[in-house]
Structure 1
Amino acid sequence: MYSYMKKQLFFLIWLLVFYAGNAQSSKYIKGEVKDSVRINNADASETYASYVPSAYDESKRWPVVYVFDPSGNGQEAIKRFTAGAEEYGYVVIASNTVKNGSYQENFMKISKLLNDVNASFSVAPDRIVFAGFSGGARLATSSAVLAKNISAVIGCGASFDIGGEYMPVKNTFMYIGLIGDEDFNYIEMLDGIYYLNSRNFDSELFFFNGGHEWPNEEYISKALRTLTVKYMAKGLVTRNESLLERCFQKDFNFADELYNKGELVNSYEAFEALIENYKFFKEVDSLKDKMKEIKRSKLYKAQLSEYRRVYQAETLYREDYYSFLPGDIELADTRNLTYWSDEIEKINELEKSPKLENQKMAKRLKGLLGGLAKMYENQLIPETQAESLLFINIFYTLLTPDKNEPYLKTVQLSTLLGKYDMALYYLEELLKKGYKDVAVLDNLEGIALLRISTEYNDLLTKYNLRTRY
């Protein structure tokens, strides 16, 4: 299957070289997003959102960015690319069909998508970009590894599986990573960039303030701007002095703003990237002097030391969580929840720390634990793995005690398993939080036997809630 898909995607990219330029206006509206474009010769449900810049001209070939959202919401994802696409001249295609799931099925869908875009737009075959968020970012990198002729990947909110089947090995594409500083995949993205650099990939990583989410338009535009400059350096785009100067000024301002905000490590790396990207076009000695100034700063040294400390600590936490949580969920021994209660308390203490980097690490670790638990929960079969589901929902009550749903599900599952004392305990914990929606409790499936018990009704009475019996 791997060999077949590899050949198919290679053939697909080969087609782009020979059949580009046969545009059909029904597939786009210049300067506007077209939400649900049908793919020819495909199921009616297979659609994509398209955007072409106002200056789009069929007589020229244009770089194309294919965007993969983990939930297949191309209409929402494409909005983040339109500003940069308009300014730097990119066609953007965001699939409404490709989403988290089987890679083989997604490879087939991507094949159909590429064929349709190739037949409908004027494509520059040497400037094809795959982009994605979270699972879509992993898919974008995996697809680029298979296809070989992809020029760049823009990975947002996730990296790739180091050591996995679709791990990048040969530097056949450029890579730009974008990650929120509170995203639970933050360490994974750092490790991915370290790996790519060790393999001599042309790779960069930008950080933004936020969690596990698409970056805003400013950062997507920076990614597209960076690619535009790199394409000029490689001779894939005709050198444009006015555009280069505009790009340089924006990238300089980006690095300088980080400096002015006191983010000296990020500023240093931004100036370093500025030198690398523009050294063929401009004199950069003054930028080197700026980097020396930053590096001599006590604040820079302190921040670098702090980042390294957090990286090492968070890596250890992550290794433990990946090692222990799956086994505990499978074993479903609720006594092991004592360990997780202690771990979550440690994270809560980190979140209260006066050190900002500790606070961010705490948010990332909570996100990681929640994401891991959700991943395993989605794989469980309620009829045969109720004990594991119960474990996960009690785990959620520890991790996110402000949410009501885990308590309600714990009451349901405990009753289903005949653990009435446990069901009553978590019901009271829910009521202690001020929960008052008796209508939801009255209609909660699977707790009929609990609902008619004296203990249940006594609890409702204790918290001044209406009883049915």
Structure 2
Amino acid sequence: MLNLQLKNSFICLFFLLSFFGHAQNLRLQKGTVTDSVPIPGTDLLHYAIYLPEAYTAEKKWPVIFVFDTEKRNREAVEAFTAAPGGRQYIIVGGNSVKNTSYEANFYLAKRLFDIVLEKFPVDPKRIYTAGFSAGGRLATAIGAISKDVDGVIACGAALPGNEKYMPRKNDFLFVGLVGDEDGSYREMKGTVSSFNGKKFHADLLVYEGASHYPPAEYVDKALRTLTVKSIAKGALPGSERKIDSLYLKDMDFNRKQEKEGRVFYAFEDLKQLTTNYSSYKDKDGFKQRRKEIRKNNEFRKQRNDSYGISELENYYMVDYLTFLGEDISAGNIGQLPSWEEEIIALEKLEKGKNQAKAKMARRLKNMLKSVVLETIPSLDEEKDIDKLLFVNAFVVLLDPEQEEAYFNILKYSVEKSEYGMALFYLEKLLQTGFKDVKKLNEDEDISLLRIQPEYNDILRDYGLKALY
């Protein structure tokens, strides 16, 4: 049974709940994801589960518990089953973890662990957690407080927001995945570097873009990395044939990176491969491969761009986070024009010829957007209209297609009797191509705006039917 060392006695009491009779009632199809499997004794808690096509109760199976706080448990499981290697695991995703306290999510995770470890033949040496964004932080936190988790795959984010659940010792293997345009890119790089400084077995995989779920080939590589390292530490038998198979796939992946133009990433990947296969493969082969990459005309340019961008990006991040925090705290609407200038400057970098700077600009914009969106729930609780106006207007600056943010701005500006601001953002909304007049006319929060003569004039200017 999972040894989560929780101090909260209330949670511990619930952990004593049993799940007898569950397995007998399950009718799970192998080779596909079964969604909304109920947790006995609850009305609302469910999970999604994947059993390999070759699944049999006579064999011990590795298991991955996947967490996505956006409640997309089926999609989270399918992100792993999309990878060929993922289809060799039992994969479980809970539907009820969310952006709340770690203790509440530990409770839900514990129930999942109890069910799966009791009712399925799980290999106790190959229990892994994984997660996306905030779910990645949860996966790492569980690994930090448990003696039974053997590895963590964290996508987009990894370090828990609570110091109590920060990893201290190298008790588990770690693979971090992040997009090279993700707002958490610098954080994930720093996390892996910090883990390695603490003698963790930590690897970093960087994919193109900023998608929530990594491409299947990167998930597959993450699973290969865990497999190689599990063999190295004796948790999994590994024949020479098995090692060779993993090695060839990793080298094919590496060459594909170079072929696709990601030359510097291919070089960095080799450093990790050299370490991971150090007990099995001669280092001369890796040296020869590094020489091949160095001969690529793009290598030196990408390396220099990467080193040069690092210092510049750190400068931007410190500056932006400092001033953004101050402006949110003050609800300083007057600073929005300055922020608009900064965002326009970033957009120019995005469109420029220097790809390293373009990706840096996208990372910075995504970072700012993440910070603001993560702040909104707490501001909703405070009911501070000035702050809410600022953050929603900031979201619109970063992403003019955010319809919900426009409606929030209209709501809060009307509440402050700032009708000029409301009309300004109404027109901004219509400039995006928005045409749902019915939604505008039925929104009770902006009823006082609708009686303003300018409201109907603006609708007519955009060819829409006015109320009066």
Q: TM-score, normalised by structure 1?
A: 0.89
1:388 aligned onto 2:387: yes
Q: Report what 1:26 is aligned to.
A: 26
Q: 1:380 to 1:221 in 2, by over 3 A?
A: same
Q: Structure 2 CA distance, aligned partners of 1:276 and 1:300? A: 21
Q: 1:443 to 1:350 in 2, by over 3 A?
A: same
Q: CA deviation at 1:60?
A: 2.8
Identity score, percent: 38
Confirm or deny: 8 A CA contact 1:407 1:430 kept in the other structure.
yes
Q: 1:316 to 1:164 in 2, by over 3 A?
A: farther
Confirm or deny: 8 A CA contact 2:336 2:394 kept in the other structure.
yes
Q: CA deviation at 1:78?
A: 0.9
Q: 1:25 to 1:243 in 2, by over 3 A?
A: farther
Q: Structure 2 CA distance, aligned partners of 1:85 and 1:297? A: 31
Deviates more, 1:216-225 or 1:239-248: 239-248
Confirm or deny: 8 A CA contact 2:31 2:87 kept in the other structure.
no
CA RMSD between the two structures = 2.8
Q: CA deviation at 1:162?
A: 8.1
Q: CA deviation at 1:314?
A: 2.0
Q: Structure 2 CA distance, aligned partners of 1:98 and 1:233? A: 33
Q: Report what 2:448 is aligned to.
A: 449
Q: Report what 2:18 is aligned to.
A: none
Confirm or deny: 8 A CA contact 1:225 1:247 kept in the other structure.
yes
Q: Structure 1 CA distance, aligned partners of 2:311 and 2:231? A: 38
Q: CA deviation at 1:416?
A: 1.6
Q: Report what 2:19 is aligned to.
A: none
| Structure 1 alignment gaps of length 5 or more | 13-21
Q: Report what 1:235 is aligned to.
A: 234
The number of aligned residues is: 457
Q: 2:7 aligns with which of 4, 8, 27?
A: 4
Deviates more, 1:245-254 or 1:27-36: 27-36
Q: Structure 2 CA distance, aligned partners of 1:2 and 1:206? A: 30
Q: 1:2 to 1:379 in 2, by over 3 A?
A: farther
Q: Structure 1 CA distance, aligned partners of 2:120 and 2:27? A: 8
Matching residue's letter, 1:4: K
Confirm or deny: 8 A CA contact 1:232 1:239 kept in the other structure.
yes
Q: Report what 2:137 is aligned to.
A: 138
Q: Structure 2 CA distance, aligned partners of 1:188 and 1:294? A: 27
SS at match of 1:48: strand
Confirm or deny: 8 A CA contact 2:64 2:127 kept in the other structure.
yes
SS at match of 1:379: helix
Q: Report what 1:344 is aligned to.
A: 343
Q: Structure 1 CA distance, aligned partners of 2:202 and 2:235? A: 18
SS at match of 1:131: strand
Confirm or deny: 8 A CA contact 1:24 1:121 kept in the other structure.
no
Q: Structure 1 CA distance, aligned partners of 2:118 and 2:250? A: 35
Q: 1:197 to 1:437 in 2, by over 3 A?
A: same
Q: Report what 1:375 is aligned to.
A: 374
Q: Structure 1 CA distance, aligned partners of 2:56 and 2:464? A: 68
Q: Structure 2 CA distance, aligned partners of 1:289 and 1:77? A: 38
Q: CA deviation at 1:165?
A: 2.8
Q: Structure 2 CA distance, aligned partners of 1:284 and 1:394? A: 54
1:294-324 superposed Cα distances (whole Å, 9 cap, x missing partner): 3466632321221122222222222223222
Matching residue's letter, 1:179: V
Q: 1:158 to 1:29 in 2, by over 3 A?
A: same
Q: CA deviation at 1:216?
A: 2.5
Matching residue's letter, 2:34: K
Q: Structure 1 CA distance, aligned partners of 2:432 and 2:129? A: 46
Q: Report what 1:37 is aligned to.
A: 37
1:126-180 superposed Cα distances (whole Å, 9 cap, x missing partner): 2111111001100000111001331110011112148833221211111011111
Q: Structure 2 CA distance, aligned partners of 1:363 and 1:183? A: 8
Confirm or deny: 8 A CA contact 1:31 1:86 kept in the other structure.
no
Q: Structure 1 CA distance, aligned partners of 2:8 and 2:281? A: 43
What are the residue-to-residue correspondences of 1:194-343 with 2, within 5 Å?
A: 194-295=193-294, 299-343=298-342
Deviates more, 1:22-31 or 1:56-65: 22-31
Q: CA deviation at 1:47?
A: 1.9
Q: 1:230 to 1:341 in 2, by over 3 A?
A: same
SS at match of 1:380: helix
Q: CA deviation at 1:242?
A: 3.1
Q: Report what 1:159 is aligned to.
A: 158
Q: TM-score, normalised by structure 2?
A: 0.89
Q: 1:27 to 1:197 in 2, by over 3 A?
A: farther
Q: Structure 1 CA distance, aligned partners of 2:463 and 2:37? A: 55
Q: CA deviation at 1:449?
A: 2.8
Q: Report what 2:399 is aligned to.
A: 400
Matching residue's letter, 2:7: Y
SS at match of 2:154: strand
Q: 1:82 to 1:437 in 2, by over 3 A?
A: closer
Q: 1:315 to 1:126 in 2, by over 3 A?
A: same
